[in-house]
Amino acid sequence: MANATALVRQALHGTGLDVVGSCGVAEYDACAPADLRSAAILPGARGVVVAASSGPGLWRAFRARVDAHRELWDAAHPYDGFVGELLDRADAALGAAGVAFRRFDAGVSAPVRVSFVALGRLTALGAPGPFGLLIHPRHGPWWALRGAWIVDADVDPAPSLVGACTGCVAPCVGGWDRAGGIPDASVEVRGRCVVGQASRYDDEQIAYHYDRARTVARLRNG
């Protein structure tokens, strides 16, 4: 029997979407709203697979593409479009193995919105930090959920996860006792996280995520 986690991981190897996790469908259904539970989306589903990027690898692959095809800057969301093309590789691998699936994208214009924060927690890719982002145990705040598939195949179970923030004094927000709610995940706050700084995004990538329109305008003319 095909293992959907392995199929997705292999299909996305080397693309920059190098973080893949999964969980059983029972765990997913337990927290999904009724209209997004597996019975409504894919009867007979057995699991969920989630893919994410980490560090600057995905961005650098994207820049290589748009440097070769400058017209891609004219798309409404060029980065999301590039990610979607990569996720198509996993679709093809699942289809070739005879796995029925339903895919969800994390892009701005995705037609169906699901909680990728919930999916990241369910698949043990990250745990909530003090500034509103899931913190990955290796990459800290420098990663992003990109796509998910509900599948009618076996998947790897989610491992147990000890939150990366456990025992931390939270210098990112000036200490847990002074957090006072959830601060914005600003560049400065993310930069003070003690986990994952080796995965920090390139400055240009950071600029794109925090001010896409201005960054695209500058890079299009560069």
Assess whether pLDDT exceeds 70 at residue 13.
yes
Tokens for 173, please give them. Answer: 């927000």
For residue 111, CA distances in Å to 55, 108, 114, 150 come to 27, 9, 10, 16
Return d(Cα 132, Cα 182) in angstroms, integer: 6
Mean pLDDT of 28-51: 96
Looking at residue 59, its pLDDT comes to 97
Indicate the range of 26-40, 97-111, 175-189 predicted with least confidence: 175-189
Looking at residue 222, its pLDDT comes to 67
* Residue range 92-138, pLDDT digits in tens: 999 999 999 999 999 888 888 889 999 999 999 999 999 989 999 99
Tokens for 195, please give them. Answer: 């986990």
Neighbours of 54 (CB within 10 A): 21
Looking at residue 162, its pLDDT comes to 83
Amino acid at 151: V
Q: Hey, where are the domains in the chain?
A: 4-220
Mean pLDDT of 151-174: 93
Residue 181 confidence class, pLDDT cut points 50, 70, 90: low
Return d(Cα 168, Cα 77) in angstroms, integer: 36
Neighbours of 192 (CB within 10 A): 16
Looking at residue 88, its pLDDT comes to 98
Mean pLDDT of 9-17: 97
Nearest CA-CA partner of 44 in 101, 4, 93, 94? 101
